[in-house]
Amino acid sequence: MPRESRLPVPIRNALPEGRILEDPATRLVYEYDAWSIVRNPPLAVAFPESTAEVRNLVRACIESGVAWTARGAGTCLSGGATPSGGTCLLIETSRMDRILSLDPEDRIAVVQPGRINLELSRAAAPFGLHFAPDPSSQSASTLGGNLAENAGGPHCFKYGMTTDHVLGLTLVDGEGEVCRLHRDDGLDLCGLVVGSEGTFGVLTECELRLIPTPTAVRTFLASFSSMEAACRAVAKIVSSGTVPAALEILDRLSIEAVEASVFAAGYPKGADAVLLVELDGEEDEVEAERIPVLRAVQSEAPLEVEETSDPEQRARLWRGRKGAFGAMGRLKPDLFVLDGVVPPSKLAAVLAEITAIGREQDILLSNVFHAGDGNLHPNLSFDGRNPGERERAMEAGRRILKLCVDAGGSISGEHGIGFEKIEHLSYLFSPTDLEILGEVRRCFDPAERCNPGKVLPLGRACGEGSSARRPGILPSREREDP
């Protein structure tokens, strides 16, 4: 294409020919991730393949005064992988998808950030191991994205979030330096980077913990005629001291959407809510835990209870849950998924209020959520082409998050703040809090060029020009010449 390049020369020269694209089609398809509200076609899209190439790119961006956003598979639900603005370079890690090492004895895998979550577990399966965090997007989302967002997933109730499975990482920070951070190196800076949504730098390697795949797994599906009953059953299970691997609820609208899709799981269509419970571990452990689970479920007069340990049947039951988000496309062209958290004991009450907000804003609202840890995912389905509908969805979202905070919860469980919730940070943090958090971030990225405008409001660095970074604050830094 004999188009004139808009790219500054240093960026154009940072990668081998053909790995930076700026044609209209490429710029268009990278304008947003799985959160559709804000769209910014990037300046260009770069496809690095190694840490050194990322470092060269970042240094070229610094030299040219251009900001950058890193992206994996673009499955983020809060705009984390949406370009920060039209003058931003998008660094796409899809070509950095190798497993650099997999040590079954130490149960450690080192991967490049573009590796797909599920494909790491697949590679570890022959050794009886897997990577525990299982966001619903795990068949597509990348580990780099999972780390950046500190992704969760149904099984995080028992096994912890992504950060609990990260042992170390390599990052090209906001000054173009390669930092290798490890959990054992004094201050846990590695933990600080996980969940920073790409605002500290671009991840180029991830050292991850693999865990043994449980020998016994049992999945229960219980359907209820009311959402309250399903929530009460969850509260009873949690308070019995049992720690199921997962506790998930889908409401009526979600059930109908997935049952109409290729992910149809055989959920009873007349039910108001279905509850998925999974127990795993050793055979006797699972056997002991199933009694209190069944007792809790039975006490809430379920319509139906299905119990299975057959791998195929279990996969079927989970299929509907994993496909629920995408299946919402059957309802309306646009979707806005929220990610609020409330104490599990308040689930039923909060859900009732959420339903009321949906009705008041006249927005089609469905719920799929991690009931065990009170992580709600209200899905707001709308048609952005109709005047006012997008605004009403945004307003419903704002009110729901406020409601979660007022109930003693938080605005985000696992999807990240991104662009989406940046305004809502004030429900949780004072301006001073935010200023301090900004200071922390500027230790890694003094000029605020890494994914600016996500997680934290833009600080002073941009407008006022920032002081240079305090020297020596980060350990294990390696200066590498280009």
Partner 1 sequence: MIPTDEPCLSAADPGSPPPPTDLPQDAALEMLRSPYERSLDCVHCGLCLPPCPTYRVSGHESDSPRGRILLIRAMAEGRLSPDDASGWEALDGCLDCRACESACPSGVTYGRILEETRRERPRLARGSLRERSLRFLLDRFIASPRGRKAALEAAVLLRALGLDRLLSRLPVLPGLLRHALSLGRSLPPRSSRRPIPPGLYPAEGPPKARIGLFTGCLMEDFFGNANRAALSLLRRCGLEVLVPSDQGCCGALHLHQGFEEACVRLLERNFAAFEGVDFIVSTAAGCGSTLREAGAIRGNDRACAFSSRVLDLSVCLDRFGPPPRPRAVPLRVVWDDPCHLRHAQGITEEPRRLLRGIPGLRLLEVEASESCCGSAGIYNLRRPETADAILERRLEALLGSGAEAVVTGNPGCQLQIANGLRARRSPLEVFHLAEILERAAGGGETAPKAPALNGSRSSRPA
Residues 336-355 that bind partner 1 (CB under 8 A): none
Helix (H) or strand (E) holding 433: helix 431-444
Q: Which two tokens stand for residue 69?
A: 């956003």
Of residues 163 and 381, the one with the C-beta less far from partner 1: 381
Of residues 286 and 335, the one with the C-beta less far from partner 1: 335
Q: By CB under 8 A, what part of segment 107-126 binds partner 1?
A: 114, 116, 119
Of residues 190 and 203, the one with the C-beta less far from partner 1: 203
Q: Which two tokens stand for residue 157?
A: 């109730």
Q: How far is the CB of 235 from partner 1 (least distance, A)?
A: 30
Q: How many CB atoms lie within 10 A of CB 67?
A: 24
Q: How many residues bind partner 1 (CB under 8 A)?
A: 79
- Please check whether residue 448 is in contact with residue 463, taking contact to mean a CB–CB distance below 8 angstroms: no
Q: Which of 16, 329, 408, 475 binds partner 1 (CB under 8 A)?
A: 329
d(CA 367, CA 252): 8
SS3 364: strand
- From the list 480, 414, 477, 422, the residue with the least C-alpha distance to 451 is 422
d(CA 124, CA 140): 17
Query: In a 10 Å sphere around its CB, with 0-12 CB exposed, 13-18 middle and 19+ buried, how is residue 25 labelled?
Result: exposed
Q: Which of 165, 357, 448, 455 binds partner 1 (CB under 8 A)?
A: 448
d(CA 240, CA 307): 19
Q: Which of 6, 269, 359, 470 binds partner 1 (CB under 8 A)?
A: 6
- From the list 370, 382, 445, 362, the residue with the least C-alpha distance to 412 is 370
Q: By CB under 8 A, what part of segment 462-481 binds partner 1?
A: 462-463
Binding string, 149-188, against partner 1, x = CB under 8 A? ----------------------------------------
For the beta sheet containing 178-182, the strands, ordered from the edge strand earlier in sequence to the opposite edge, are 99-103, 108-111, 201-209, 166-173, 178-182, 477-478
- Using the rule CB under 8 A, give the single segment among 69-77, 173-181, 220-228, 437-445 that binds partner 1: 69-77
Q: Which of 169, 335, 342, 404 binds partner 1 (CB under 8 A)?
A: 335
Which residues, at least 6 apart from 29, have a Cβ–Cβ distance to it below 8 Å? none
Q: How far is the CB of 320 from partner 1 (least distance, A)?
A: 9
Q: How far is the CB of 185 from partner 1 (least distance, A)?
A: 31
Q: Which of 20, 67, 365, 393 binds partner 1 (CB under 8 A)?
A: 67
Q: Which of 84, 223, 361, 375 binds partner 1 (CB under 8 A)?
A: 84
- From the list 145, 175, 171, the residue with the least C-alpha distance to 61 is 175
Q: How far is the CB of 352 from partner 1 (least distance, A)?
A: 26
Q: Which of 23, 287, 360, 439 binds partner 1 (CB under 8 A)?
A: 23
Q: How far is the CB of 457 from partner 1 (least distance, A)?
A: 8
Q: How far is the CB of 350 from partner 1 (least distance, A)?
A: 25
Binding string, 28-57, against partner 1, x = CB under 8 A? xxxxxxx-x-xxxx-x-x-x----------
Q: How far is the CB of 231 from partner 1 (least distance, A)?
A: 25
Q: How many CB atoms lie within 10 A of CB 471?
A: 6
Q: Which of 56, 75, 223, 410 binds partner 1 (CB under 8 A)?
A: 75
Q: Are strands 166-173 and 99-103 parallel, antiparallel or unpaired?
A: unpaired
Examine residue 461 and tell whether it contacts partner 1 (CB under 8 A). yes
Binding string, 250-279, against partner 1, x = CB under 8 A? --------x-xxxx----------------
Residue 215 C-alpha from the chain's centroid: 28
Binding string, 375-414, against partner 1, x = CB under 8 A? ---------xx----x------------------------
Helix axes 283-298, 227-239, angle to 10 degrees: 140
Q: Which of 157, 159, 220, 419 binds partner 1 (CB under 8 A)?
A: 419
Q: Are strands 364-370 and 334-337 parallel, antiparallel or unpaired?
A: unpaired
- Please check whether residue 7 is in contact with residue 21, taking contact to mean a CB–CB distance below 8 angstroms: no
In Å, the largest CA–CA distance within the chain is 71
Of residues 232 and 449, the one with the C-beta less far from partner 1: 449
Q: Which of 85, 128, 268, 292 binds partner 1 (CB under 8 A)?
A: 85
Q: How far is the CB of 29 from partner 1 (least distance, A)?
A: 4
Q: How far is the CB of 476 from partner 1 (least distance, A)?
A: 28
- Using the rule CB under 8 A, give the single segment among 88-96, 210-218, 267-275, 288-296 that binds partner 1: 88-96
Q: Which of 66, 276, 286, 455 binds partner 1 (CB under 8 A)?
A: 66
Q: How far is the CB of 425 from partner 1 (least distance, A)?
A: 12
Distances (CA, A) of 478 to 14, 104, 173, 275, 472: 20, 29, 11, 50, 12
Q: Which CB contacts under 8 angstroms, 24+ apart, belong to 392-396?
A: 392/361, 392/362, 392/363, 393/334, 393/336, 393/361, 393/363, 394/37, 394/336, 395/361, 396/357, 396/358, 396/360, 396/361, 396/363, 396/365
